[in-house]
Amino acid sequence: MLNIQTITYQIKFLDDLTFREEPEIAFYKTIFNRLKNILCINIKEECISCSYNKKCLYSYLTAADFLYIENLPVKVHRPLFSKRLMKAGDILDLKFTILGDAIKHVDFIDFILKEFEARGLYRENYRFMVINRTIGQLYITRGDGEITGLKIITPIDVKENIFIREKEKLDILNRLYNMTDNPIDKIDISYLFDGVKFKVHNPLRIGRNRIIQEGYIGQIKFNKPIKETHMLDIISIIGAGRYYAIGGGAIEVYRA
C-alpha cells in the first residue's frame, strides 16, 4: 500500500502581484515561515543543535529547517518555468504531495492559508482567495510494456548512480514517514543519460539552507528494458534527486 496524498488549493488573485520567485516556491516558503513562528519554541537556535529537535513538529515537517532538503515530507509542485506576474483574476493551482504520516498535520497548511487569505500576502497585503481545495490518496497506476527509459522534466542534481542514490533516499523517507509498506527494490540495470545542464543564477534561500539551483534535464535510456518497480512507482509521484520537494526530478516513463 502507498501512503502518499496530494492536496491542491486553487488560488484566485484579487490584486496584481509580481513575485520575486516562482509563486509556488513563494507560497511554500511563506507557509513554512509562518509555521515556524507558530511551532518553534526556541526560534533563535538552529534546529540541528536545538535540544527540542527530536520532539519538534516543525523540525519533523521541515527536515531540521530544510537543512536535510532530501528528507522533506511535503513536496510542492512547480513546472520548469512559472510566470511571476499575477494579474487580478488569475488562478494558481498550488499543489502539495505529502508523504506518509505527515498528512496528520495538513490542518496547519489549511490554517495558514486561511490566515493569509484574511490578511493578505507580504507587507503590501496582496489579496487572494482559495476558491477550491481537493485532497486525495495517490494510487499506483502502471502501463503496458516494459520500461525502456525515463524523461527528466525538471532538473535532477546528479547524472551518475541515480538509482543507488534513490534507493538510499527512499529507504530513509520510508523510515521517517511510513509512506509504503512494500519493499523498495533496487534498479541494477545500467543506463545512458543524455542530459543538458540547467542552472538558475539566483540561489534559493529556504530555512537554514541556501540551494544552488542547478541540475540536468534530458533522457535516461536503460541498456535493456526493465519491468515495473516500486522505486519507479514512488519517484514517478514525488520526483527523483535531492531537490524533489521543491519540484526537482519530475519524470515520465518510456515503454517498449
For residue 109, CA distances in Å to 22, 28, 35, 58, 206 come to: 19, 10, 8, 12, 17
Structure confidence at residue 136 (pLDDT): 87
Specify the amino acid at residue 158. Answer: V
Its pTM stands at 0.92
Residues 78, 82: Cα–Cα separation, whole Å: 7
Which residues of the chain register pLDDT less than 50?
none
Main-chain dihedrals φ then ψ at residue 240, nearest 5 degrees? -105, 160
4-137: CATH class: mainly beta
pLDDT digits (tens, 9 = 90+) for 96-146: 999 999 999 999 999 999 999 999 999 889 999 999 999 988 777 777 789
Residues 125, 131: Cα–Cα separation, whole Å: 18
Structure confidence at residue 242 (pLDDT): 93
Which is it for strands 251-255 and 191-199: parallel, antiparallel or unpaired?
unpaired
Structure confidence at residue 90 (pLDDT): 97
Structure confidence at residue 177 (pLDDT): 97
Q: CATH 3.30.230.10: does it fit domain 147-255?
A: no
Q: Can you give the residue ranges of every domain in the chain?
A: 4-137, 147-255
Tell me the longest C-alpha to C-alpha distance in the chain: 56
Instruction: Map the chain to HEC letters.
Output: CECEEEEEEEEEECCCEECCCCHHHHHHHHHHHHHHHHHCCCCCCCHHHCCCHHHCHHHHHHCCCCCCHHHCCEEECCCCCCCCEECCCCEEEEEEEEEHHHHHHCHHHHHHHHHHHHHCECCCCECEEEEEEEEEECCCCCCCCCEEEEEEEEEECCCCCHHHHHHHHHHHHHHHHCCECCCCCCCCCCEEEEEEEEECCCCEEECCEEECCEEEEEEEEEEEEECCCHHHHHHHHHCCCCCHHHCCCCEEEEEC
